[in-house]
Amino acid sequence: MSDAQTKTDSEAGPRLFLDPYMNWAKGEGIPIHLDFGHDLLALKTEPWARYDARGCFAHTHGRGDFCANYVLEVEAGKKTRPVKHLYEAFFFVLSGHGSTTLTLPDGEKQTFEWGPKALFCIPLNCEYQIFNTSGREPARLSCTNDAPLAINHYHNLEFVFDNPFKFRERPGAPNSFQGEGEHTAFERNIGKSTLNLWETNFVPELTSFKMYELEARGKGSMNVYFQLGDGTMHAHMSEIPVGRYKKAHRHAAGTHVHAIGGEGYSLLWYDGDSEFVELPWRHGIMYTPPFWMFHQHFNTGHIPARYLACAIGSARYPFISLRRVSNEGGGSTSVKQGGRQIEYEDQDHRIHRKFLEAIQKTGVPSKMSDIFDEPMILAIPKDKLTGVIDTPSLKGPAY
């Protein structure tokens, strides 16, 4: 923190229980939105001096201790000022077209162009500038970052935002800023699944990006992990087939889930709840499941539904033990075997009943009759479906 910040804290009382990240966020002079989740396309933004653009913080109740999100909006035909910072940042383009220019550690400049639903990272402490190349519409980007980790750890804004150190290994291969990358497949230590990893710094368009089977998360489920900027932050993309949905699971806090395409909803609950929390599924929606809260994603539309998840702990640098076990396959292992996933046969009957009623409205046929006795579930009176949401008994270590 600066001397001025330190004095303010001292005048306010004992220097205890400080939150340098929130002090910084409040001092940036832009809106701080707090909710379970947000429609990032609709959030109010205001002028943000740090970027010389518009912005807002999109904080969530489940963001945890390490990661957060802000929305950056660059008006038509304008650009941000050059910025750098000692926290990792993943940008997902919500709307608009533009380009980003990076100054790499060796002084070389790299520029790449992007449009809606592109994903790119800023290698640690590289200076960058974002341009809106449209003269008619603003560009809006979602930035998931680990600023809470960096600012709370160092609690010195000059160190975080004006640090001269150059992380020469972070940018990686030059072609990684042009949409190219390297695919590697790893057999997981837990369960029978493969981790498919794509190492790059820029994905031009997520809806058409190649994905790989991950049946352990649900029949027809597709997945790909991203290693961006040799970073400690994690990103992966999943796809839900038409007429299907994912298995429920739970994990650490702070996974920022962005709906990319398709339509549907997500359900969230804690073990022992009587009701589900329901969130809509459409492009622009972002939320973070709180720590150890079960969540499940449902596709009710006529096209596959994709989502992007960003959090702390990459495949290369897991950082926390829960992420390490997830990467090893524990996140796709049944709670009955000590994992964190509820298998279809163990889930509450209300879950599939709700899905069947939802797809009846959209005219999408269920492709899950090979798993569920759907006529029986629809025949159960609704008053018999109410009650406490019980999780099958845990056995073994808690993954």
Token pair 């629809």 is at which residue?
A: 378
Same domain for 257 and 207, yes or no, is: yes
Cα 162-165-169 angle, rounded to 5 deg: 130
Give 205-213 contacts, CB < 8 A, sequence gap 24+.
205/115, 205/116, 205/117, 205/118, 206/92, 206/117, 206/118, 206/119, 206/237, 206/260, 206/306, 206/308, 207/117, 207/260, 207/261, 207/306, 209/237, 211/237, 211/238, 211/239, 212/185
Tell whether 113 and 192 lie within a shared domain.
no
Q: What is the mean pLDDT of the chain?
A: 93
Residue 153 in domain:
yes
The predicted-structure confidence for 305-352, as pLDDT tens digits, reads as follows: 999 999 999 999 999 999 998 888 888 889 998 889 999 999 998 999
pLDDT number for residue 238: 97
Average pLDDT value for residue range 237-247: 97
pLDDT value for 383:
78
Same domain, 163 and 185: no
Model pLDDT, residue 174: 87
Confidence of residue 3 (pLDDT cuts 50, 70, 90): very low
The predicted-structure confidence for 14-71, as pLDDT tens digits, reads as follows 889 999 999 999 999 999 999 999 999 999 999 999 999 999 999 999 999 999 999 9
- Answer yes or no: is 354 within a domain: no
Instruction: Provide the pLDDT for residue 213.
Output: 94
63/195 same-domain check: no
pLDDT tens digits along 102-133: 999 999 999 999 999 999 999 999 999 999 99
Q: Count the neighbouring beta carbons within 10 Å of the beta carbon of residue 23.
A: 17
Whether residue 224 is predicted with pLDDT greater than 80 in this model: the reply is yes
Our CA dihedral for 318, 321, 325, 331, rounded to 10 degrees, sits at: -100
pLDDT at 395 over 80: no
Query: How is residue 83 annotated by DSSP?
Result: B
Number of structural domains (the chain) is 2
pLDDT band at residue 393 under the 50/70/90 scheme: low
Select, from the ranges 41-55, 172-186, 266-280, the one with the highest average predicted confidence (pLDDT): 41-55
Average pLDDT over residues 125-153: 97
Residue at a domain's end among 299, 317, 342 = 342
Residue 244 pLDDT: 97
Q: 214 to each of 200, 237, 323, 334, 395, how far by Cα in Å?
A: 21, 11, 18, 15, 24
- Is residue 316 within 8 Å of 233, Cβ to Cβ? no
Q: According to the model, what pLDDT value does residue 4 have?
A: 42
For residue 197, which amino acid is it?
A: L
- Which one of 342, 363, 384 terminates a domain? 342
Does residue 85 sit within a domain?
A: yes
Q: Are residues 79 and 99 both part of a single domain?
A: yes
Residues 11 and 137 occupy one common structural domain:
yes
Domain assignment present for 360: no
Lowest mean pLDDT among 152-156, 263-267, 334-338: 334-338
pLDDT at position 338, please?
A: 86
Q: Are residues 251 and 157 in the same domain?
A: no
Residues 6 or more apart in contact with residue 55 via CB below 8 angstroms: 28, 30, 45, 46, 48, 70, 71, 72, 73
- Residues 202, 56, single domain; the answer is no
Q: Is residue 300 part of a domain?
A: yes
pLDDT value, residue 11: 56
* Domain finish residue from 342, 361, 391: 342
Pick the range with the lowest mean pLDDT from 11-15, 309-313, 355-359.
11-15
Structural domain boundaries, residue 36: 3-167
Asked whether residue 161 falls in the same domain as residue 187, the answer is no
Could you tell me if residue 386 is inside a domain? no
Q: Say if residue 100 is in the same domain as residue 191.
A: no
Q: What is the mean pLDDT of residues 159-178?
A: 95
pLDDT number for residue 1: 41
Residue 385: the pLDDT is 78
Establish if 27 belongs to a structural domain: yes
pTM of structure: 0.93
CATH (domain of 86): 2.60.120.10
Q: Picking from 6-15, 154-163, 175-184, which range would have the lowest pLDDT averaged per residue?
A: 6-15
Residues 193 and 111 in one domain: no
User: What's the token pair of residue 55?
Assistant: 């912005």
pLDDT of residue 272 exceeding 70, the answer is yes
Residues 324 and 197 grouped into a single domain: yes
In a domain, 350, yes or no: no
